[in-house]
Amino acid sequence: MRKVVLFFLFFSISFFGEILMLYPEHGLLVKNISDGFILPEKWKVKSIQGSFHVKDIFIDEKLKYVPSIKGNFVYKNGEFVSNDGKEYKIIDGYFFEITQHPKVVKKIFLDTKKATATFLVDGRYSFSYILNENVLSQFLNIYADVDSAFVFVVSEPQQNRWLMKGSGETNIQGKKVYQLGEIEDLRNERTILIDRMKVERLDYNYVELYDYVTNWNPTKRMVYIKTLRQLPAGKITVWSKLYNRYLPLDQAYLPDTNEEIEIFLGYSWNNWYKWNVKTSLNLGNRKRISGELSLKGRGVYKIKIFGKNIGSIKTNVEVIEKNESYIILLAHNTQTIFIEYEKDKN
């Protein structure tokens, strides 16, 4: 097994060049190095396939002669610093650009000419989404302290361990791996569109009811998304219809999603509800609740009524879900909803 893994790693390095495995808060860079490789300041050696040792080496100052200098400069510590950050000094009446200050660097010395090394580097990624009408766009935002590399993003659910399938994705031992290919300029954060999919979308007002009176309260604005896919957590920008056009109205957080999700967007100024309990009768171990739900504002309403083992439901709207601890009603532009039901006392 070890021979297979080593062969795959050698083949990958030979084929792709430098490989970056990017995780949420760090990166692993796999690359071939030569004897005497200078270790970049923020990199740490994770492993090297062979014997090696690291030694501090002093590097002298390096200067480049320039005939003259022009522009605005700040004189500091015996040096002239230009607006673009270049540094100069005068030696025996001549100008020299300082291309390297004297410093101590770490060098890796190998027992062979070359070896495959793995380095721990600064890196991160995050997912983000844009929902515009019924199209969901998925992005990866990536950064690494590397000039360029062939990038793989390694993701796993934050809470649950379900497997995910989709374009450009591979499941390996419960992890989701995105192959992004060769990417340059990684030190400047890159945003990459990795998928665009049609989804089922429903915007609605959400109301929660219990067996007691509730005076006028704003409804919760919600959006329901069904993707038939599983999505890693990330920020989502939701475009909604405003003045006959779709605009980026809300920003929210999308948790790890197993094919469908309801996202809370905030409270509504336009939609309000009032729950008036008219009768509450004790019937042995059961209680009968009868009331009137008044709504202000048009649109779709999803009403969740909490209670254990709810039954004997009477209402003028649709019951769309029922389980041991609640029922859900769905209403369209209905201003007054009559509700009667029984539930366990405790």
Each residue's pLDDT, cut to its tens digit, for the chain (346 residues) gives: 444 444 444 455 555 579 999 999 999 999 999 998 988 888 999 999 988 888 888 877 788 888 888 888 888 888 888 888 888 888 888 889 888 878 788 888 888 899 999 999 999 999 999 999 999 999 999 999 999 999 999 987 765 433 333 334 445 446 788 899 999 999 999 999 999 999 999 999 999 999 899 999 999 999 999 998 888 999 999 998 888 888 999 999 999 888 889 999 999 999 999 999 998 888 889 999 999 999 999 899 999 999 999 998 999 999 999 999 999 999 998 899 999 999 998 7
| Ramachandran quadrant class, 12 (left: phi over 0; alpha: psi -120 to 50; beta: rest) | alpha
Contact predicate 96/35, CB 8 Å = no
How many degrees, rounded to 5, is the angle at CA 156 between CA 150 and CA 160? 170
Q: How far is CA 246 from CA 52, 134, 278, 314, 332, in A?
A: 59, 11, 41, 38, 22
Q: How far is CA 97 from CA 65, 122, 284, 292, in A?
A: 6, 30, 93, 82
Instruction: Please report which helix (H) or strand (E) contains residue 320, including its range.
Output: strand 318-322
**Rounded Cα distance, 175 and 264, in Å:** 28
**Rounded Cα distance, 33 and 12, in Å:** 15
**Rounded Cα distance, 239 and 250, in Å:** 7
Query: Which tokens hold the place of 92?
Result: 């025996």
Sort strands 234-242 and 123-132 into parallel, antiparallel or unpaired.
Answer: parallel
Which of 95, 91, 99, 87 has its CA nearest to residue 67?
A: 95
State the residue for tokens 């197993």: 258
Q: Whole-prediction pTM value?
A: 0.74
**Rounded Cα distance, 28 and 43, in Å:** 10
Query: Which tokens hold the place of 243?
Result: 């003045």
DSSP letters, 228-297, are EEEE--EEEEEEEEETTEEEEEEEEEE--EEEEEEEEEEEEEEEEEEEEEEEEEEETTEEEEEEEEEEES
Contact predicate 152/32, CB 8 Å = no
Type of residue found at 310: I
Contact predicate 273/209, CB 8 Å = no
What percentage of the chain has pLDDT greater than the value 70? 90
Contact predicate 217/297, CB 8 Å = no
Query: Which tokens hold the place of 200?
Result: 């089922």
